[in-house]
Chain A
Amino acid sequence: MEILGNLGLGLVTAGSLSNLLYCFLGVFLGTAIGVLPGLGPTATIAMLLPVTFGLPSESALIMLAGIYYGAQYGGSTTAILVNLPGESSSVVTALDGYQMARQGKAGRALATAAIGSFFAGTVSTILVALFAPPLAELALRFGPAEYFSLMVLGLVASIVLANGSLLHAIAMIVLGLLLGMVGSDVNSGTARYTLGLPELEDGIGFVIVAMGAFALGEIISNLEDESGRSVMLEKVTGLMPTREDWARIWAPILRGTALGSLLGILPGGGAMLASFAAYSLEKKVSRTPEAFGKGAIEGVAGPESANNAGAQTSFIPMLTLGIPSNPVMALMIGAMVIQGIQPGPSVMSEQPKLFWGIIVSMWLGNLMLLVLNLPLIGLWVRMIRVPYHYLFPAILVFCTIGVFSLNNTTFDVYLMGLFGLLGYVFRKLDCEPAPMLLGFILGPMMEEYLRRALLISKGDLTIFIARPISAVMLVLVLLLLLTVLAPTVRRKREEAFQEVG
């Protein structure tokens, strides 16, 4: 019953008029920057940090948290409407979401994303409230060996991301891995594939690749193909999910929430995997995997829920251990320190008002996001019915501003242009950019964890099977490979997988 008292305290804190206002300001700003490509929550929070110095600590953190999870909502909007994923988590949303938009179902896709996110946000908030400390201990059990095995699992699972040829998918993953190698090596500092350009030393930015390969590639092929331009004018069929949609999305939302909550706890890049993993899972358990990539509503519901659940549970290591799982969490810790609060296990006991206030505000914020986003859907859908010769220059301008604002350099803009051309070529060759992006995200992390694990074990390879969590994941990898590579056992494995799920 202590939990009720705690939540009551949180409600009093988060429910005060001024804190409700800051929460709304946060989620509103978050939605706005999520919709604008390029400008991410990290940069926004960094710029707003000085403004929060004068606020009470609860208000400051409630607002900053709102920006973070608000951006997760906003990011899916452009992915669905114009095939422009602004964050790594919305890449997979673009796959089926954009196809739905082309079929005149943009409203239903957006509503599904919002509803899934809200449900996931609610469940994971409860998880944070009930189990934060034990879950945080789990996070610390993940060392380099475990992360490496997790990434391998993610990569192998991603093979099912592809809709067309398996060979094309593998080639694109490898290309992504190679692109991920660009930049200075974390162990030696040696520059790899930078062509002597200092701009490439930190690697190629994710946003640059995603905007180029997805949004720009799409624009080029739309301009080439007369019929492509008119698809957006397809009659819009309803703004809310239909009865049949509901029957299809409830299970993916549940599965996505569970998977996302679990992965979000892991500070070493788990949240990034959440939406990819959820998509792979949905496709694997679906009776109609061939519908994926062609506007399957499950392909929007699962990943969107997973991504929002992951965003909420990634607060667990930060709130309970003082460990930042991503740059945004590091900034939140910075905000706490500036307020004179030492983040760590003591926050819960010494600052109960702050701790529970943030947790309750996360739920209130999710509710606000739902209320904010559902009415906006009508507006968004009208926006894409703008004639394409007005729409595409606008998209180009926003992409350019967004990419330029990352580092204030034109180099990045040219690089995005190059990836736009590549994206067009990929389309011509029938190669999908999504597996490439996954390889691009996972590759550098996988390499880093592999080498770090081996450095720690002084070169002993058995570290990957001697550690139980890592070993279990490698076994899963083997099982998954079997189901992909041996079509005869495929049917059986799928049934088994379904029973487990």
Chain B
Amino acid sequence: MILNSHNRRKFFSISATLLAAACGFSEIALAQAYPSKQITFVVPFPPGGTSDAMGRLVAQELSKTLGQSVIVENRGGANGNIGAAAAARSKPDGYTLVLSGIGSHAINAGTYKNMSFDPVTDFTHITSIASGPNAIAVHPDFLARTLQELIDLARKEPGKHNYASSGTGSSSNMAMELFKQKAGLKIDHISYRGGAPAMTDVLGGQVPILITNADAILPHVKSGKLRILAVTGSERNVLYPDTPTIAEAGYPDVVAVSWTGLSAPAGLPSDIVKRLQEETAKAVKGPVRQRLEALGLTPGGVSSQDFTKFVSGEVAKWKAVAQSAGITAE
């Protein structure tokens, strides 16, 4: 049985190849009928994280609307640099896409000395997928009840308090450093490998202050095991309508959101960019929207020009923060 079906499949694939050759299946024909084969969607992280989940959600929808399977290929390592570099080197034919994000396409350019790619010029940035803020929260026994109280306390006792983040050079670490710079505070950084262990230590009272993805702390805020002080978005978050932004507290420049987007190697033909932008925008504003909002994320779907401009702005913004905070990787 197994041999039989195997042989049959082989027969079909051989005849398909012959057919393709007979019809003169050229590259031009391929472009006209985009997509005519399976699409590889590089997710530059190992399976399991939020970015991976974003990638899979979008891949699932694109498979349906494009009529070709979009296969997620996880190529993790070096904060997203390995997967992004591999994608940058591939052909701009629309069959290799990459999940771009705040790490691989913005912060890393400021923290890594030797980047093998340029996050702006080596890519065609197609559209944004989703973005979400970080949140600053404290252990319930900690003295500060509001962001202003935290600022006052940190000014009174500089260097005495610690904050936990999901890692050196992570978006939460960078957001806190940006806030510290603008507010002139000295709070020491305790780095963790990921948001979960950082949260665990703040819940256990080992470290008083936490900055991490806003959605991750929701159950603990509800049960009173953590007290949320502020979110880092430009507007309040749907999950915490009563929690102010840092901007509201008087620091309008302190806006930091973790974002993901859809990108491809530089030089992607404009008709393919248009098609992918449209389908992705439809997906994130349609079937995927509810899932994103459950995580407190804002759906993207902006135009390719706007997204490219946004990415350049992010690169510049985080480069400045990394330099003045002295954060480097490598």
Contacts and interface: CB of A to CB of B under 8 A. Distances in A.
A191 B168 CA distance: 12
Given A143-B204, A456-B207, A190 B328 contact: yes
Interface stretch (A43-51, A100-108, A290-298): A43-51
Contact of A42 (B47, B328, B329): B47
A322 interface: yes
B140 interface: no
A50 B223 contact: no
Contact of A190 (B197, B200, B330): B330
Interface stretch (A115-123, A213-221, A343-351): A343-351
Q: Indicate the size class of the contact surface on chain B.
A: 35 or more
Interface stretch (A166-174, A197-205, A242-250, A418-426): A197-205
A343 B199 contact: no
Given A143-B206, A323-B196, A337 B47 contact: no
B30 interface: no
Nearest to A41: B48
Contact of A187 (B47, B48, B168, B295): B168
Contacts of A338: 291, 294
Q: Indicate the size class of the contact surface on chain A.
A: 35 or more
A97 B35 CA distance: 51
B47 A46 contact: yes
Interface in B196-232: 196-197, 199-201, 203-207, 215, 218-220, 222-223, 225
Given A191-B330, A455-B188, A456-B206, A327 B48 contact: yes
A407 interface: yes
Contacts of B203: 140, 321, 323
Interface in A69-112: none
Nearest to B116: A198
B327 A189 contact: yes
Contacts of B215: 337
Contacts of A402: none
B330 to A, nearest CB: 5
B191 interface: yes
B74 A188 contact: no
Interface string B146-174: 00000000000000001000011100000
B73 A344 contact: no
Nearest to B167: A186
B77 A191 contact: no
B190 A456 contact: yes
B268 interface: no
Given A143-B206, A198-B81, A409-B75, A187 B201 contact: no
Interface in A153-206: 184, 186-191, 196, 198-199, 201-202
B226 to A, nearest CB: 10
B204 A50 contact: no
Interface in A407-458: 407-409, 448, 452, 455-456, 458
A342 interface: yes
Contacts of B46: 42-43, 406-407
Contact of B192 (A140, A186, A190): A186
Contact of A188 (B81, B168, B201): B168
A10 interface: no
Interface in A131-152: 140-144
Contacts of A142: 204
Contacts of B162: 455-456
B280 to A, nearest CB: 17
Contacts of B205: 140
A337 B206 contact: no
Nearest to B200: A323
Contacts of A187: 168, 191
B243 interface: no
Contact of B78 (A188, A198, A267, A342): A198
Nearest to B79: A201
Interface stretch (B49-57, B91-99, B311-319): B49-57
A471 interface: no
A487 interface: no
Given A189-B111, A407-B76, A408-B74, A343 B169 contact: no
Between B74, B191, B219, B223, the greatest number of chain A beta carbons within 10 A of the residue's beta carbon is seen for: B219
A324 B203 CA distance: 12
Nearest to B217: A322
A11 interface: no
Contacts of A43: 46-48, 74
Contacts of A323: 196, 199-200, 203
B48 A331 contact: yes
A344 B294 CA distance: 16
Interface in A33-55: 42-43, 45-47, 49-50, 53
Contacts of B60: 50
Nearest to A187: B191
Contacts of A186: 167-168, 191-193
A313 B188 CA distance: 34
Given A330-B196, A407-B74, A189 B190 contact: no
B85 interface: yes
A163 B154 CA distance: 55
A342 B218 contact: yes
A45 B162 CA distance: 35
Nearest to B111: A189
Nearest to B48: A46
Contacts of A196: 114
A144 B201 contact: yes
Contacts of A49: 53, 56
A72 to B, nearest CB: 18
A8 interface: no
A270 interface: no
Contacts of B192: 186, 452
Nearest to A201: B78
Interface in B113-170: 114, 116, 162, 167-169
Contact of B197 (A42, A140, A268): A268
Interface in A253-295: 267-268
Interface string B11-27: 00000000000000000
Nearest to A346: B223
A46 B111 CA distance: 29
B326 to A, nearest CB: 10
A340 interface: yes
Contact of B219 (A50, A190, A342): A342
A198 B76 CA distance: 11
Given A49-B53, A140-B200, A334-B53, 5 more contacts: A43-B46, A186-B167, A201-B78, A406-B46, A408-B74
Interface of B: 46-48, 50, 52-53, 56-57, 60, 73-79, 81-82, 85, 111, 114, 116, 162, 167-169, 188, 190-194, 196-197, 199-201, 203-207, 215, 218-220, 222-223, 225, 291, 294-295, 327-330
Interface of A: 42-43, 45-47, 49-50, 53, 140-144, 184, 186-191, 196, 198-199, 201-202, 267-268, 317, 321-324, 327, 330-331, 334, 337-338, 340, 342-346, 406-409, 448, 452, 455-456, 458
5 contacts: A43-B48, A184-B78, A186-B192, A187-B191, A343-B219
